[in-house]
Amino acid sequence: MLSISKISLKELKLFNDDTGLTEKEFLPISKVRAMSFMANPRVSSNDNVLYQAHWNEKLIAYLTVLPDIAFVNNQPIPFAWISGAWVHPNFRRQGIATKLIDTVVADWKGMLMATNFSKITETVFEKTKTFKTAKEIVGRRFYLRKTLLSSYNCCKHSNPFNYLGEKAINLFNYSNLTRKFLNLPKEVELEYFSRPDEEIIQKLTLETEKTLTKRGANEFNWIIRYPWLINGLLPDRAAQKFFFASVIPASAYYLVKVFKDDELIGVLLMQHSNTRFTVPYYWFESGSEDVMAKVILLHASKAKASFINIYNPKIVDAMLNLRHYYFFSKKRVRKYLVADSMLDLIGENFDLMDGDGDCAFI
C-alpha cells in the first residue's frame, strides 16, 4: 500500500542523526544537504522540506523543497523551490511522482517554483497541470573540452567506448593550447575571500535588489558555508545510497574581487562542481564584462572543468568574443515553472539571478 509522509525542518535533525539510516537501501537526503537545509536563513521550523513515498514501508520515492522568500511590492512572501525528485525504477510511470508533487502543492498552498530540472521531471510537472512556464532565460554553455559522461554529477565513465570517444574528440581541441596564452591585462588584479566582506555584500545585495528574492549577507554566507557537495576522492558509503551527487572528486567556491587600476570593477561568486563551472551571483561595472569573462574562463580552465554555464547576456557576449580559448559553445535555455497560486501573486514580470533556486548548490 502506498503512503506519503512529510518531514519538517525541526524533524529533519532527528532524521539526519538516525544512525540506522546508513543501513537502509536508499536515502532520501544526504547528510550535507540536510545540514544545509537546517542552516537555510529563510526557513521556518515548521516548514515541511522532505516528502517520502513508501510502498509497504519500502522507500520508493522522495522529493525535497527549498524554502525561500519572494518580495512583491517589498512585502516578503514565503514560498519554496521544488528540488530533487526521485522515484525507484521499479515504480516509475505509475503516477507516484505526480502524487508527491500534488501533496507538496497542497501543503505549500501553491506557493512553489522550480528550475534546473530534467526533461523527465518537466513532464511530471506538466501532468499536474498546476505549473506554468513563467520565464525562460537564454544562456550559453561554453565547452573547454567535450565530455561524453552520461551524468555531470560523476567523473567516471561506465562505458569504456565513451571514454575512448571523448579522448578522440579532444585530440582536435585546439583551445587546450590557446588557453595557455590567455592572460588578464596587467592593470587587472584579483583578491580572494573565503567569506564575503562588507563591500562584497554591498555589491551583491545591490545587484540582487532588482530580483524577486533579494539576497543579502545571510544568504551568501549560507551558500558558501553549507554546500551540498563535498570533496572526496573515493566513494562514500552513505552517498552511494542517495541518487543525487553528494561526495565528488572536485568541488569549490571562488569568491573574487576584480580590480582595474586599483578600482573595484567586479565581484564574482563562482562554483566548480566536477565537470561544471557556474557563476551563481555577480556584480560588475558596465563595460567590464570582457574582463569578467576572462576571469571566469581562466578559473574554469585552472579547475579543469569541462564546460561553463553562463546566463548573463553581457558575459555571454563577452565569452563569444573569446572564441579561440574554448572548444565550442551551444545555446542553453533555463525554464522557471511557477505554480498557479504563486503566479497570481508575483506575475510574470520578475527577475532572478543565475544562482536562485538550488542552482547555487549543484
237 vs 100: CA distance, rounded Å? 27
pLDDT digits (tens, 9 = 90+) for 43-96: 999 999 999 999 988 999 999 999 999 999 999 999 999 998 999 999 998 999
The model's pLDDT over 27-49, given as tens digits with 9 standing for 90+, comes to 999 989 999 999 999 999 999 99
pLDDT recorded at residue 153:
47
Domain 2-137+336-346 part of CATH 3.30.70.360: no
- Specify the pTM: 0.92
| CATH fold group of domain 139-334 | Aminopeptidase (3.40.630)
Q: What is the rounded distance in angstroms from the CA atom of residue 73 to the CA atom of residue 16?
A: 37
Cα(337)–Cα(333) distance, integer angstroms: 13
Residue 178, pLDDT above cutoff 60: yes
With contact defined as beta carbons under 8 Å apart, do 46 and 87 qualify?
no
Q: What is the pLDDT of residues 214-226, one digit of tens each?
A: 999 999 999 999 9
Q: Are 62 and 34 in contact (CB under 8 A)?
A: no
User: Are domains 2-137+336-346 and 139-334 of this chain identical in fold?
Assistant: yes
d(CA 188, CA 259): 5
The rounded mean pLDDT for the chain is 91
User: 203: part of which helix (H) or strand (E)?
Assistant: helix 198-208
b/e map of 242-265 (b: 16 or more CB within 10 Å)?
bbbbbbbebbebbbbbbebeeebb
Domain boundaries, the chain: 2-137+336-346, 139-334
Check whether 197 has a pLDDT greater than 60: yes
